[in-house]
Amino acid sequence: MSALPPSLLPTKPTKNHNQFQSFSLKSCLSLLEICKFTTEFAQLHARLTKLGFIKNPLALTRLLCYSSISQYANINYAQSIFNFDKNPNTFAYNVMIRGYAQREKPENALSLFYSMLCNANSGPNKLTFPFVLKACSQVRAIEEGKQVHGLVFKHGLSEDLFVQNSLINMYSSCGLIGFACQVFNKIDDLDVVSWNSMISGLVDLGFVEEGKQMFDRMSKRSLVTWNCLIDGYVKVGLLMEARELFDQMRFTMVSVLTACSYLGALEQGEWMQAHIEKNGIDVNSVLGTALVEMFAKCGSIERALSVFKSIEERDVGAWNSIIHKLAAHGHGQEAFAIFSDMLRSNTLLDGIIFLGLLSVCRHLGLVDEGKRFFQLMSEEYGLVPKVEHYGCMVDLLCHADLLEEARDLIDSSHASQMKSSVPMWGALLGVSCQLKNIVMGEYAAKHLLQLDPFDGNCYTVLSNLYSAAGLYEKAIEVRNEMKKQGLEKIPGSSSMEIDGLVLDF
Residue 7: per-residue pLDDT = 34
Bridge partner residues of 503 (DSSP) = 496
Domain ranges of the chain: 412-490
Q: Which of 169, 183, 269 is nearest to 228 (CA)?
A: 169
CB neighbour list of residue 199: distance below 8 Å, 6 or more residues apart: 211, 214, 215, 225, 228, 229
State the Cα torsion 277-280-284-289 to the nearest 10°. Answer: -10
Residue 80: per-residue pLDDT = 84
CA count, 13 A, side-chain hemisphere, 351? 11
Regions of the chain with pLDDT less than 70? 1-37, 54, 223, 250, 252, 279, 414-420, 455, 485-505
Are 433 and 464 within 8 A, CB to CB?
yes
Q: Which of 488, 445, 438 is nearest to 467 (CA)?
A: 438
Residue 36: per-residue pLDDT = 66
CB neighbour list of residue 308: distance below 8 Å, 6 or more residues apart: 288, 292, 314, 318, 321, 322, 338
Residue 35: per-residue pLDDT = 66
Share of the chain above pLDDT 70, in %: 85
Residue 280: per-residue pLDDT = 72
Domain 412-490: top CATH class:
mainly alpha
- Measure the CA–CA gap between 70 and 33, rounded to whole angstroms: 10
Q: Is 311 left (phi over 0), alpha (psi -120 to 50) or beta?
A: beta
Residue 22: per-residue pLDDT = 43
Are 198 and 214 within 8 A, CB to CB?
yes
pLDDT (tens digit per residue) in 321-349? 898 888 888 888 888 899 888 888 888 88
Cβ-based burial of 232 (10 A; exposed 0-12, middle 13-18, buried ≥19) = buried
Write the single-letter amino acid at 284: N
